[in-house]
Chain A
Amino acid sequence: GQNIDQPTEMTATEGAIVQINCTYQTSGFNGLFWYQQHAGEAPTFLSYNVLDGLEEKGRFSSFLSRSKGYSYLLLKELQMKDSASYLCAVIDSNYQLIWGAGTKLIIKP
């Protein structure tokens, strides 16, 4: 079967750095997305990785290792508005998007 694993919940302090991990086992791989979803709102796109390595975009970075079936999202200089759920999703060999259940990130002052 296909599976994506993320921690259910994480807590971090405002101004700090947090890393949210995602491991996947899918039938094929054609890319990995990270989305942010605030409570009661729709998911919004954060990043896309298809090759190994780090993609940096402002305070957010995403890393991929295809050989390990592993990705992480790194959030720096945390702000209260970063409190949200972070969803990892993988495009499989049929170009279908397989979603993880999401990681709820709680930021404390």
Chain B
Amino acid sequence: IAGITQAPTSQILAAGRRMTLRCTQDMRHNAMYWYRQDLGLGLRLIHYSNTAGTTGKGEVPDGYSVSRANTDDFPLTLASAVPSQTSVYFCASSDTGNEQFFGPGTRLTVL
């Protein structure tokens, strides 16, 4: 692994289904982030983690949960997907306060 990876690349999901988006980084960054990006709205922070074992809520956390069991992994779970969660999801990591490095994104469509 080089940098930060996300899986899947894209997914079509029926409303009401549970879905976990995966994110893994190998840069040993303390902080990790999940964003959603919708046309005209820019990047909006869903959840973040400043260090392994801790998480925090961002601007738009409702309907999403995260965990940070170790430094490398930061999965994002949609417990019961709704169409308004159709978006492009980016995971990012950084040393706290420094530039963020982004994964390639997951394009999610909820029908």
Contacts and interface: CB of A to CB of B under 8 A. Distances in A.
Contacts of B44: 99
Interface string B89-109: 010000011011111110000
A99 B102 contact: no
A91 B35 CA distance: 16
Contacts of A101: 40-42
Contacts of A41: 104-105
Q: How large is the interface on B (under 10, 10 to 19, 20 to 34, 35 or more residues)?
A: 20 to 34
A30 interface: yes
Contacts, number: 42
Contact of B97 (A42, A43, A89, A91): A91
A6 to B, nearest CB: 9
In this complex, the member of A33, A96, A97 whose beta carbon has the largest number of chain B beta carbons within 10 angstroms is: A97
B45 A30 contact: no
Contact of B43 (A8, A30, A87, A96): A87
12 contacts: A30-B97, A33-B99, A42-B102, A42-B104, A43-B90, A48-B99, A97-B45, A99-B42, A99-B44, A100-B42, A101-B40, A101-B42
Interface of A: 8, 30-31, 33, 41-45, 48, 87, 89, 91, 95-97, 99-102
